Amino acid sequence: MNHTIEIDGIHVSPHHYIGGQRVASSQTFTDHCPIDGHVIGEIAAGLPEHCDAAVTAADEAFPAWAALGPEGRRTHLRRFAAEIRAWGEKLARVECEDNGMLLARLRGHQIERCAQNIEYFADEAVRLASMAFDGEKAHHDVRHEPAGVALLITPWNSPMMLTTWKLGPALAAGNAVVVKPPEWAPLTCSMFGDIADAAGLPKGVLNIVQGIGAETGARLVADPRLARISFTGSVPTAKQISQSAGANLVPASFELGGKSPFIVLADADLQVAAETAALQYRNAGQVCLAGTRLLVDESVAGEFLDRMHAVVERLRVGDPRDPATEIGPIIHPRQFAQVDGFVQRAVADGAEVLWGGSAHQAGDLYYQPTLLGSVDQESEIVQNEVFGPVLVVQTFGNDDEAVELANGTRYGLAGVVFGEDERAKAVADRLRTGMVWVNSFFLRDLNAPFGGIRDSGIGREGGQWSFEFFCDIKDVMMPHTPYRPVFAGG
């Protein structure tokens, strides 16, 4: 049970973390490094007995964890956040090796955000505990009560940060949790088990079961003891999960990605818009919020694209451990093949490659930042999420046409509008999407709701919205004056 995987001198357990103990498996799956394709190690695969044991451990730990109350849980969670910071360099280096995210970004942003995700929700749970108001006839004491066992299924594009984004509210609400990490990048999630030990988190409150989604994930979501399921990933998988959740009447929350519009009006600051558009290639385009559909006023399209191309040409693609690198690898050969397949089919259907369009010389899983033009609104490349460094551009003649194009997919996660403030805001108001940035991008606040509509998901994460999902809401009413029952006709 002492076997570990070594990454740059850092030892990471490949085993499950159940009831505060490391648990091996007779079956494993292989984890590869996207930087150069080498095998990182063999990871324990969750079998039925592991899934059952993890839910059982969480179920048994739940009553005592819930009974601590928001203040008691906050003490534990603040220690957990402190340990994340203490482990920050190790987490950053492992995530870079396992996922391919830029090491500089992990060090400079992701670690602190992970700690803040835990601290913020620990504090927010305390604030919500005192919600009360006086109604016309009674005093209402609104309680956010723990729901039970929460299953958290996290994605591979930012596994460390997005796991804490779910862990924070789930644990602060008083639930015990089972985490199912992504099979393409499971290692920083595994490290959270060691961090839980270092922080003194009660055993069974946090459990981690690794495995292939179609096998381990399917077993977990079917457990009738679950009280909540939170999933970030693809639409087809969400549909399968919703069937299992529905069979057991388990509330489920889905964040499913998008095909977001990036609108550039004629009166926009074209240089700022162009530089921001180039940011959509960040993390090799593996970002659900990315504005992958550039919609540009036809009167400024040429100048805008010239400015954007000048920025893109300076972007350095390469090893994410190099501080000069700005775009790293795509995470997995299957994802690489999906990205390139989208591009090649689009070109075969008549799309024009404005730049990029093929693999990058940096290595097997590196792809050139790509922009395709001459695309039809109903084409695959416009309608479907690519999840790679591939954007498309379309032009419009007026604001109505821009809005029609922007709303013309089945997704609705985010949007970006650049233009004169009032005009841009008016366009933003007409977009059918969960979030819109006006003359900005990726400004996030933990108080704000996060989520989309249509095929981009169900529910919201962030602030009180997370607690509305992870809690059972109870209203305790006490009358202002002595109560007497009144019967009909009496």
Residues carrying an active site annotation: 255, 288
DSSP state of 196: H
Of 287, 255, 253, the residue nearest 110 (C-alpha): 287
**Residue keyed to tokens 């096998």:** 215
Please report which helix (H) or strand (E) contains residue 466, including its range.
Answer: helix 463-470
As separate numbers, helices (DSSP H) first and strands (DSSP E) second, the chain gives 16, 22
| CB neighbours of residue 478 within 10 Å | 10
CA distance 246 to 236: 15
Of 198, 208, 187, the residue nearest 5 (C-alpha): 187
User: In sequence order, which residues have a C-beta less than 8 Å from that of residue 4 and are 6 or more positions away?
Assistant: 11, 12, 13, 14
Helical residues (DSSP H) of 185-254, grouped into ranges:
187-199, 218-221, 235-247
The pair of three-digit structure tokens given for residue 349, joined into one six-digit string: 């259907």
φ, ψ dihedrals at 29, nearest 5° = -130, 160
- Tell me the CA end-to-end span of the chain in Å, nearest whole number: 73
CA distance 150 to 467: 12
Please report which helix (H) or strand (E) contains residue 397, including its range.
Answer: none
User: In sequence order, which residues have a C-beta less than 8 Å from that of residue 378 and are 6 or more positions away?
Assistant: none
